[in-house]
Structure 1
Amino acid sequence: MMNAGFTELLLGLLAILLIVAAVIDVRTLTISNGLNATVALLAPVYWWSIGLPWWPDAAVHVAVAAGVFVILAMTFYMGMMGGGDVKLAAAIALWFQPITTLKFLVIMSLAGGLLTLIVLAIHKKRGKPPVEGEAEPARPEVPYGVAIAAGALWILAQRFLNQFA
């Protein structure tokens, strides 16, 4: 690691950006392109701080992130995930090793399932009436940025907590 303090600062900044994304997603059901771009553009700075070789290691990170984007873009086209969510997950994948990205996706999916159940329960309890002119009640919308942030924060927390094991 080239500069441990700077690396920890970058990881702390990533954690803050993830929390901001989750809060904004809960409030607006959107994650801005600017926030996603910031997460993505800080990844090469992080690579530099840990001394990650540009070839082939950084290229592998980019390829894995592109794969995450393509796979999750399918969920966007099926109406299951927002575009900002897809971009945020791909941007986060730039920060993690490939195996860690897989762990992140699993944790994100589990958190997303739990979040969906919570949103459905709240929606059912509130019993929202149909929107005027529609026969059925409005579909509940899941702020999936919360699950994405939870998955990434879980991975980041492991990095810090493993120091004490």
Structure 2
Amino acid sequence: MQGNIIVYGLVGALAIALLIAAFTDIRRRQIDNWLNAAIALGAPVYWWAADLSLWPDVAMQLGVALAAFLVLAGLFALKMMGGGDVKLLAALALWLAPLTFLKLLLMMSIIGGLLTIVMAAWHFTRTRRRDAKIPYGVAIAAAGLITLAPTLEAGWRSVTGA
């Protein structure tokens, strides 16, 4: 994968998609299906560009994404998570190695907890109500960008020769 400009371009496109997800979640408290679909459909191109083998690499990506979707869909059914967040995380699981995805989930949890505290306090001071809607896509996007940062930096260095 080292030096593969297509991989770096795809990861850059994923980073842009994460920024769009965060922005739309802040504005509308919604992550669009077309964006989640684009992220998911970009994963096979990434697998090809990164030269992942069908077995076990791609099979592992698919298995982790399916497991993530099932667990997170359960949280959605319990009204603990939004549908767009579930789909975004499942789509991201298609891009990341299993341990990297776990790292993303841990970072997302920490960032999301801080975001929840800040947003809930801000909402309560403005409305005196405790029904704040937290744009958790921001935490997902932030954790995703932190996770992708080393690849983005390597791509920038290969393009600029720095």
Kindly indicate whether the alpha-carbon contact (under 8 Å) linking 1:25 and 1:143 is maintained by their aligned counterparts in 2.
Answer: yes
CA contact under 8 A between 2:123 and 2:130: conserved in structure 1?
A: no
Q: Which runs of 5+ in 1 are unaligned?
A: 129-136
Q: Is the 8 A contact 2:64 2:93 kept in 1?
A: yes
- Aligned partner of 2:139 in structure 1 is 147
Q: TM-score, normalised by structure 1?
A: 0.88
Q: Deviations over 1:104-162 (max 9, x none)?
A: 1101111111110111111121125xxxxxxxx46110011101101110100133457
**8 Å Cα contact 2:24/2:30 also seen in 1:** yes
2:58 pairs with 1:66:
no
Partner of 1:83: 83
**TM-score in terms of structure 2 length:** 0.90
Q: Which runs of 5+ in 2 are unaligned?
A: 158-162
Higher RCO structure, 1 or 2 (CA under 8 Å, sep 6+) = 2
Query: Aligned partners of 2:126 and 2:20: how far apart in 1?
Result: 27
When structure 1 is superposed on structure 2, of 109-118 and 73-82 the one drifting more is 73-82
Are 1:3 and 1:50, in contact at CA under 8 Å, matched by a contact in 2?
no
Where do residues 39-58 of structure 1 align in structure 2 (5 Å cutoff)?
39-58=39-58
How many residues in Structure 1 have an aligned counterpart in Structure 2? 156
Render the CA deviation track for 1:48-98: whole Å, top value 9, x for unaligned. 001001122101100001111111112211212110100000100110001
Name which one, 1 or 2, has greater alpha-carbon Rg. Answer: 1
* Cα root mean square deviation, aligned: 1.8
Q: Within 1, Cα distance between the matches of 2:14 and 2:151?
A: 13
Corresponding position of 2:11: 11
Q: Distance in 2 between matches of 1:123 and 1:11?
A: 35
Would you say the 8 A contact 2:11–2:152 is kept in 1? no
User: What secondary structure sits across from 1:9 in the alignment?
Assistant: helix
Return closer, same or farther for 1:38/1:160 CA change in 2, 3 Å cut-off.
closer
| Percentage identity across paired residues of the two chains | 48
1:76–1:24 distance in 2 versus 1, CA, 3 Å? same
Contact 2:17 2:39 (8 Å CA) reproduced: yes
